Structure 1
Amino acid sequence: MNLIDTFNLDIRALHAFVTVLDEGSVSRAAVKLGVSQSAVSHTLERLRNALGDPLFVKSGRGIAPTQYALQAGPHIRQILDDMHSLASGPAFVPETTELTFTVAANDYERDLLLPKLMQRLRQQAPGMLLQVIPSGIPTADMLRKDVCDLILSPHAPEATDVMQRGLMADRMVVFYDPSQRQAPESVPDYLEADHIALVFARGEKPALEASLSASGFTRRNVITVSNFSGLPEFLRGTDMLVTAPERMSKHLLRDFSWVPLPFTFKPFTLLMVWHRRNQNDSSHRWLRNQVNAVAATMNGLNE
């Protein structure tokens, strides 16, 4: 037996051997494999040379496996099963897993989705730990360099190695303290007011700022904060305005009134973003399914 040739065998050759063994016929195996009969015969010849055994011999009008082939069959099937398991990734058991996942999310996405996600994890995967870091305007390198495993953001990096899934829709609205002022009813009302604005920690500005500039609008931002959680206390008891996602009216900004923007600004979709290399990872896929289930419940859909 040529040991080097043995280790040079490919998976297709082993699969062909098992198929011939199962079918008891080169021609039937060729049909099942979707290749020519000569291709199967050529593959068997390679296997004979590598393994040092005829493998199949003529028996009447058909063929019969040698004793070596019969003994090797279970081992080769195990090799194929192991390779299949390797391609699919190791089995993932939520109840016994001990993994830490890092999710990049600003406080809007964090407060909206992650508390309910954590409730699910504690029930279904108590050994899974969640680490949350701010995303700002996320980049593909955050995923490529393993800064995080998953991004929750309306801003998906434009890259061919990054995948995404829409979770829920939202829109920007105007919040105000009704004890201090009336709702802005027009574009001039909005632009003449003092505003509390958001500028992320790395200096990135939300898309609204660029949209205002593109429309030729200028508003007076008297204070900027680096995250949404700074908005309520600055807004409370003042006549200022805050432009923020409508879903914040259910939690962070629930103490305030809101009205739609007095100008056109398209709604946005909150996205779940991950790197392509994790697409088929069983634990990563399970976590993505949990995030999607939380979003589906919030959208009024059944899991």
Structure 2
Amino acid sequence: MTGTFSNFDLNLLRVFDAVMQERSVLRASQKLFLSQSAVSHALKRLREILDDELFVRTATGMQPTARALAIAGPVRQALGSLEATIGLQTFDPGTSPRTFTIAASDFMTQLVMPRLLRILAVEAPQVDIVIRPFTRIDLAEQLDLGRIDVAIGTFATVPPRFSSDYLFDYDDVLVMGPSHPVGEMTREALSRLSLMVVSLGGDQEGAVDGYTSERGLGRRSEMYDRAAFERAFPQGGQSTRVAVALPHFLAIPALLDDTSLAAIVPRPLAASFARTVPVSIHELPYPARRFDVRSLWHERLTGDDSHEWLHGVIGRAACYLRKDMP
């Protein structure tokens, strides 16, 4: 069956959007305050109109078809524009019981979230935050579908459909446990160490120069300046061993304790470690680049009061990192 826009029921798009976000008829019905049968009936009508199955029931939930994925972004953008135009929702941070979903690594979570939560406790006590892992998801798809409100990280390429704000920048340093003798860190001294580094899925197929590309969005996944490291220790010359590659940062202090390992980590994270555990911080004996950290969101959210407020709060929570950086 086919239909024209003149007699199209726009409520079907609200149902489609809810099922796309929740991947569940039950959760979509709860979100829309409809019965499950009403949601199922709406999906049936939409399938007939679009001549596509749209969602396939699996053991892990309602999985969208290629056609559903293709229209999900435009549908979400259109609904968001209608809500903003009609003014269906007003946002007062002091009273609004909103939930925002943020994608961030453990590095960003440790540095930004404590201050963000302190701001929320005072200014938005009913606002809840959900942190999603920066890895193991298609970040661009989740932003397109509206399942993530904002991502915090380092990005090489940003498609025009996304907007971003600069938060801070950093370079890398070396951290060592208390069992290591403290002295000047030369290339020769570094070459005698066994190192830990962090890769957030940077070794997966399609990663280029430490960045993973998804739907035009390039996010940093190899969390040390590998190119600078390899220039300092070229193959066949003086070399050092990368003994451990981790998918996260927060295990590093425990692994440094009573071991011969040292780790290359972002400078602000090293400072955070040093405030709570006995580690020493050393400058790397070679020049490493600085990386920008940005907040990233879908452009359809620009101008939405609640999201403009969220971006401002994240910027305030991260601003101390700008002041403390050399």
TM-score bracket, normalised by the shorter chain, equals 0.5 to 0.7
**Does the 8 A contact of 2:229 with 2:286 survive in 1?**
no
Q: Which runs of 5+ in 1 are unaligned?
A: 1-82
Change (3 A) 1:219 1:277: farther
One-letter code of the match for 1:262? Answer: P
Q: CA deviation at 1:278?
A: 0.8
Shift in alpha-carbon separation, 1:280–1:177, aligned structure 2, 3 A? same
Which residue of the partner structure matches residue 229 of structure 1? Answer: 250
Pair 152,123 (structure 1): closer, same or farther in 2 beyond 3 Å: same
Structure 1 partner of 2:306: 283
Answer yes or no: is 1:262 the counterpart of 2:285: yes
Is this contact kept in 2: 1:183–1:258, CA < 8 A?
no
Is the Cα–Cα contact under 8 Å of residues 88 and 281 in structure 1 kept in the other structure?
no
Instruction: Give yes or no for contact 1:103–1:148 (8 Å, CA) kept in 2.
Output: yes
What is aligned with 1:119? 118
Q: Tell me which of 241, 245, 253 is aligned to 2:262.
A: 241
RMSD: 2.8
Establish whether residue 205 from structure 1 lines up as the match of residue 222 from structure 2. yes
Measure, in 2, the Cα distance between the counterparts of 1:98 and 1:110: 22
Q: How far apart are 1:208 and its partner, in Å? A: 1.8
Q: 2:107 corresponds to which letter in structure 1? A: Y
Unaligned stretches of 5+ in structure 2? 1-81, 204-220
Distance 1:274 1:84 in 2: 18
| Cα distance in structure 2, aligned partners of 1:214 and 1:139 | 31
- CA distance in 2 between counterparts of 1:128 and 1:296 reads 21
Name the structure 2 match of 1:96: 95
In the alignment, residue 249 of structure 2 is paired with which amino acid? F
Structure 1 residue 228: deviation in Å?
0.4
How far apart, in 2, do the equivalents of 1:195 and 1:241 lie?
5
Percent identity over the alignment is 21
CA distance in 1, matches of 2:87, 2:170: 36
Q: Look up the SS of the partner of 1:121 in the other structure.
A: helix
Question: Relative contact order (alpha carbons < 8 A, sep ≥ 6): 1 or 2 greater?
Answer: 2
Structure 2 residue aligned with 1:293: 316
What whole-Å deviation, never above 9, does each CA across 1:213-255 have from its counterpart, x for those lacking one? Answer: 4663654122222110010011112232110011123323442
Residue deviations 1:262-290 (CA, integer Å, cap 9, x gap): 11111122211111111111101101111
For 1:214 and 1:159, how far apart are their aligned partners in 2?
A: 31
Contact 1:197 1:221 in 2 (8 A): yes
Aligned to 1:185: 185
1:192 corresponds to which letter in structure 2? R
How many Å separate the matches in 2 of 1:126 and 1:183?
Answer: 47
Larger radius of gyration: 1
Question: Which residue identity does 1:144 align to in structure 2?
Answer: D
